[in-house]
Amino acid sequence: MSLMFSGHAGVMVVLMILALFLSLLSLSSAQRPNIVFIVADDLGWNDVGFRNPDMKTPNIDKLATEGIIFENAYVQNLCSPSRTAFMSGMYPFHAGMQHEVLLPGQAVCVPLNYTFLPQELKKLGYATHMIGKWHLGFCKWECTPTYRGFDTYFGYYNAAEDYYNHSTGWDPSLDYHDNLLHARNYSGVYSAFTFAQRAVDIIHQHNASQPLFMYLPYQNVHAPIEVPKMYEDMYPNVVNTGRRIYSGMVSALDEAVGNVTQALKDRGLFENTLILFTADNGGPLERYANNWPLRGGKHTVWEGGTKGASFMYGAGLQKTKTTYDGMIHAVDWKSTLVSAAGGTPETDIDGMSHWDSIRSGLPSSRTEFIYNIDDFEIPVEGHAGIRVGDYKLILGYPGGPDGWHRPMNRTQDDIFEQTVYTKGDRPIHLFNIREDPTEHNDLAQQMPDMVAKLRARFEDYKKTMVPANFPNTDPASDPRLYGGAWTPGWC
């Protein structure tokens, strides 16, 4: 009896060990895909070669056309809000990040109790690296990339700095950092080269027994409009100077993407790498970007401000060389990448995983999303909208500029003219985005019931809003108090 029992228990133990071994095997780090998440700053819908043959982006086009191009991947209309969504999987209006972008001296960062994407991937065994633009707050070290899940960081905390001297705001005010140190010795070097080289170095030094996560939020193609002349010279047919330089900036980005993919190939990592590429917001028309045929641009909740030029390529995708028209929002990328990594997405965040849908070309399970809720009334009002099913409701001022614009190419010094807005002009717009993706046909007057339905849903979301955190600039942030460089430690 006792012998039989111990024999039975022995079999059980062997089976348990086998099951444990198999489960460990299925979760083995080496099998998880490497993930490269590239964000192009201020890239317009129509600024990529796979949409606009005037753009020279062969590396991006190859990945996009051999992967999956997203036709309905939405982002926020501005930088800090989109990056909040990418890293936390939360809507900016839940994080107090819904108004404008972070200004350099504001003592604000994305709530520290939010878990960021690299922290989730570290739990799955990933090495995590970030190169580029943060823009999620840096007033104390706890707010900065290496305290929020990244093993290494090279880049800048703010926005709109010079591509060569890496300064923004007061002078001198360096904003370039190599992990915890100021990176003072890159003056005169265009950031796209430094970022690509750092990415290549990391890939070459990476210990392949661990999966790699690289977050690469590029400075290109945000203003200031600057690029080495050789890239500008790729566009002799573009008459407008700003558009010509901007186009060159896109091609410099494309070359960087090419260098990063080449390094992955050289290291034998490419076959097991998943690449996600997205813009952070629509292109700013006044800074030479283009979103044709979509309406509006950066700063607006029109489709031109909120549809990201975006695609995925690589490991795990089954139905490729195609487009995907399911609805995706910026808050979803965190859960989607965690799923792609073999992890379990969080259930208490705004985002949801679309991994199974995207990889097999199945419908998206997202049926609605918030474009934005901006409760900070002065100096703007509006910038608010919701999508439910095929319909989109815009409440208040959508933001400027408005209209439909071809790439700027009329005269050498042509500049874009902003639409003048009168407060309270058009309180409500309603569109059927499936039938009218370019927002030509306002249905608000014709469909009052649909307006009421979407407005009620919007109000449901608004009840969960955290007030916008948008304080005055803190004088204690002044980089001149820190040897002329933006430095944490003043909140």
Distance CA 247, CA 288 (A): 9
How many CB atoms are closer than 10 A to CB 304? 32
Q: Which helix (H) or strand (E) holds 369?
A: strand 368-372
Binding track over 157-196 against ligand NAG, x by CB under 6 A? -----x--x-x---xx------------xx-----xx--x
Helix (H, G, I), strand (E, B) or coil at 292: coil
Q: How far is the CB of 197 from ligand NAG (least distance, A)?
A: 6
Only segment of 4-12, 252-260, 295-303, 420-428 that touches ligand NAG (CB under 6 A): 252-260
Only segment of 76-84, 233-241, 265-273, 384-392 that touches ligand NAG (CB under 6 A): 233-241
> What single string gives the DSSP state of each residue in 386-398?
EEETTEEEEES--
Name which of 113 and 445 has its Cβ closer to ligand NAG: 113
- 83, 158, 144: which is closest to 112 by C-alpha? 144
Q: 370: left (phi > 0), else alpha (psi -120 to 50), else beta? A: beta
Exactly one of 72, 128, 259, 272 binds ligand NAG (CB under 6 A); which one? Answer: 259
CA distance to 56, 70, 129, 477, 482, per residue, from 21 (Å): 49, 38, 30, 53, 53
Distance CA 334, CA 386 (A): 21
Name which of 263 and 393 has its Cβ closer to ligand NAG: 263
CA distance to 419, 471, 476, per residue, from 347 (Å): 42, 31, 39
Q: How far is the CB of 239 from ligand NAG (least distance, A)?
A: 5
Name which of 207 and 472 has its Cβ closer to ligand NAG: 207
Residues 110-149 that bind ligand NAG (CB under 6 A): 111, 113-114
Binding track over 388-427 against ligand NAG, x by CB under 6 A? ---------------------x------------------
Is 290 among the residues that bind ligand NAG (CB under 6 A)?
A: no
Q: How far is the CB of 211 from ligand NAG (least distance, A)?
A: 12
Place of tokens 């300064």: 167
Distance CA 192, CA 234 (A): 17
Residue 91 DSSP one-character state: -
109 is catalytic: no
Angle between helices 241-266 and 58-66 (to 10 degrees): 60
Name which of 209 and 365 has its Cβ closer to ligand NAG: 209
Chain centre to alpha carbon of residue 33: 20
Distance CA 69, CA 320 (A): 9
Name which of 95 and 394 has its Cβ closer to ligand NAG: 95
Is 239 among the residues that bind ligand NAG (CB under 6 A)?
A: yes
Is 237 among the residues that bind ligand NAG (CB under 6 A)?
A: yes
Name which of 260 and 393 has its Cβ closer to ligand NAG: 260
**430 φ, ψ (degrees, to nearest 5):** -130, 135
CA distance to 265, 267, 269, 311, 397, per residue, from 272 (Å): 10, 11, 6, 17, 45
Q: Token digits for 417?
A: 């003219």
Q: How many residues bind ligand NAG (CB under 6 A)?
A: 25
Q: How far is the CB of 255 from ligand NAG (least distance, A)?
A: 4
Binding track over 313-342 against ligand NAG, x by CB under 6 A? ------------------------------
- 238, 244, 402, 293: which is closest to 45 by C-alpha? 293
Which residue's CB atom is positioned nearest to ligand NAG? Answer: 196
Is 201 among the residues that bind ligand NAG (CB under 6 A)?
A: no
Is 255 among the residues that bind ligand NAG (CB under 6 A)?
A: yes
Name which of 252 and 275 has its Cβ closer to ligand NAG: 252
Q: How far is the CB of 81 from ligand NAG (least distance, A)?
A: 17
Q: Active site residue: 94, 135, 166, 405, which one?
A: 135
Is the N-terminal amide bond of 58 cis, ω within 30° of 0? no
Only segment of 58-66, 251-259, 272-280, 296-304 that touches ligand NAG (CB under 6 A): 251-259
Name which of 220 and 281 has its Cβ closer to ligand NAG: 220
Q: Which residues bind ligand NAG (CB under 6 A)?
A: 54, 111, 113-114, 162, 165, 167, 171-172, 185-186, 192-193, 196, 207, 209, 224, 237-239, 252, 255-256, 259, 409
Active-site residue set: 79, 135
